[in-house]
Structure 1
Amino acid sequence: MIPAPSLAPAASGTTAVHASGLVKTYGTGSAQVRALDQVDIAFAKGRFTAIMGPSGSGKSTLMHCLAGLDVPTAGSVFLDGTNLGGLSDNQLTRVRRDQVGFVFQSFNLLPTLTAADNIRLPLRLAGRRPDREWWDHVIDILGLSDRLDHRPSELSGGQQQRVAVARALISRPSVIFADEPTGALDTVTGASLLAALRASVRDLGQTVVMVTHDPSAASYADEVVLLADGRVRGVLADPTPDTVLDALRGLGA
């Protein structure tokens, strides 16, 4: 069995997000489902981590709780040192807006806006202007400089996903959460997206947490957190498609 990760302390300056004693249940009585069962997990800053497990293992539920999109039944989530459980709805909205970036299966780009305006959207909603140096760096890393005036319908699937990654990066969030980001993409486009996420970690120091079912996608990460039955079963370092497959077989996936 691959050893489970230890929980980093909340005061640690190297931890982007961590959970302690996390429980999430749905339903009541005999119909109750325990999606998360006493999860202790920490994600280091400047790392790319994939979350994997069999269907129903709790991986999406874990990500939603970590990102403040869902409220745990018990336990705590700290995002960059902030206890999400102690926030009002307005405070939590600001945290999600300012400290969290999202990349989903669907691009969620506004069709009437150019690529540049789609990327700027989180900053506009926050009443902020983009930092010119950061803007140029993100656009250069993602290879979008010659596509900024194009609308989504004028971009390829891979270009649209890179715009979505740029939008997630532009506010310099504490963490980018990616939920099955390659699930609707062909192999080439998916590889382009994963390379963009990898570059954001390597070249921009970003922290990325990605839920995926694809061993090839997981191999882009620095490590893979393995879940089964709502519990962390281990962590796989320096993953390859083959080692990820072997680990998933060990979980009964």
Structure 2
Amino acid sequence: MRARSLTKVYGTGEAAVRALDGVDVDVARGAFTAIMGPSGSGKSTLMHLLAGLDTATSGTVHLGPTELTGLGDRDLTHLRRDRIGFVFQSFNLLPMFTAEQNVLLPLELAGARVDQDWVDTLVDVLGLRDRLTHRPAELSGGQQQRVAIARALVHRPEVVFADEPTGNLDSRAGAQVLSFLRRSVRELGSTVIMVTHDPTAAAYADRVVLLADGRIAGDISDPTPDAVLASLDALRPLDDAAVR
């Protein structure tokens, strides 16, 4: 996945806010990439544009050979359904469905065939075998998020976007979810792009892309929590200066 000269402006005239300012970024297939930056740096905007959830003011986004920024609403809807998976902070599971029904929902909506071998692999990797008949209210937060990860992966998307996936979890459950995301990359061949504010969460990724004031401000390979924290601290004066 790649973005070129990606710009997003909200509002017009004196009230205009440039949330992204000419971003160029490549995301490797089969890797776990985290996007980080100070509050208001544009990280959520970048994720929404990469995922086709928002439209760019200018610039391009490509998923493989497909330019997302050139698609109409109908084609974008099909692309998100067929080629992209999503994991949200709030889980977004349907409360009346069992864990298994929630996992299989994307296939049902798309009218796609269930690959039972793949479903079994997901269920076992994510440790959900004895929770499949439980409804979300009967699951812990960590278990609900693992169901959400299985749902995001069940149709074998080209890329999974995770938006603060541990934001509603305690530290132990959060660590389990991040481990499962990393395992999905290393053992299942998934591509994961995660937005997070947490240096410890970012350290689970293969790479951290740093944003400040809507621009790429750094890149960390094989991140550690200390390296991420130091880089974020270095960015804050930059971001403060931009605000002034």
Q: Does TM-score exceed 0.5, indicating one fold?
A: yes
**Equivalent AA in structure 2 for residue 22 of structure 1:** L
> What secondary structure sits across from 2:236 in the alignment?
coil
- Residue equivalent to 2:72: 88
The separation in 2 between residues aligned to 1:50 and 1:100, in whole angstroms, is 17
The separation in 1 between residues aligned to 2:168 and 2:133, in whole angstroms, is 25
The separation in 2 between residues aligned to 1:39 and 1:99, in whole angstroms, is 23
Does residue 1:58 correspond to 2:42, yes or no? yes
1:106 to 68, 72, 90: 90
The separation in 1 between residues aligned to 2:132 and 2:113, in whole angstroms, is 17
CA-CA distance at 1:80 after TM superposition: 2.2
Does residue 1:115 correspond to 2:99, yes or no? yes
- Residue equivalent to 2:224: 240
2:31 to 47, 51, 66: 47
- Residue equivalent to 1:10: none
- Residue equivalent to 1:124: 108
- Residue equivalent to 1:222: 206
**Equivalent AA in structure 1 for residue 211 of structure 2:** L
Q: Cα deviation per residue 1:45-81 (whole Å; 9 max; x = unaligned)?
A: 0100000001110000000000000000000001122
Task: Return 5+ residue gaps in structure 2 as ranges.
Answer: 238-244
- Residue equivalent to 1:24: 8
Aligned length: 237
- Residue equivalent to 1:231: 215
Moved over 3 A (4+): none
Structure in which a larger fraction of residues adopt helix = 2
Identity of aligned residues (%): 65
CA RMSD for the aligned pairs?
A: 0.8
**Equivalent AA in structure 2 for residue 142 of structure 1:** L
The separation in 2 between residues aligned to 1:122 and 1:230, in whole angstroms, is 33
- Residue equivalent to 1:5: none
The separation in 1 between residues aligned to 2:104 and 2:6, in whole angstroms, is 34
> What secondary structure sits across from 1:36 in the alignment?
strand
CA-CA distance at 1:181 after TM superposition: 0.9
> What secondary structure sits across from 1:146 in the alignment?
helix
After TM superposition, the structure 1 = structure 2 runs for residues 198-209 of structure 1, keeping only pairs within 5 Å, are 198-209=182-193
CA-CA distance at 1:196 after TM superposition: 0.9
* Contact 2:141–2:168, Cα closer than 8 Å, also in 1: no
The separation in 2 between residues aligned to 1:77 and 1:199, in whole angstroms, is 27
TM-score, normalising length from structure 1? 0.92
The separation in 2 between residues aligned to 1:224 and 1:90, in whole angstroms, is 32
The separation in 1 between residues aligned to 2:72 and 2:15, in whole angstroms, is 30
Task: Return 5+ residue gaps in structure 1 as ranges.
Answer: 1-16
- Residue equivalent to 2:145: 161
TM-score, normalising length from structure 2? 0.95
- Residue equivalent to 1:146: 130
**Equivalent AA in structure 1 for residue 183 of structure 2:** A
**Equivalent AA in structure 2 for residue 45 of structure 1:** R
Please say which of residues 129-138 and 218-227 is displaced more in the overlay: 129-138
The separation in 1 between residues aligned to 2:169 and 2:142, in whole angstroms, is 8
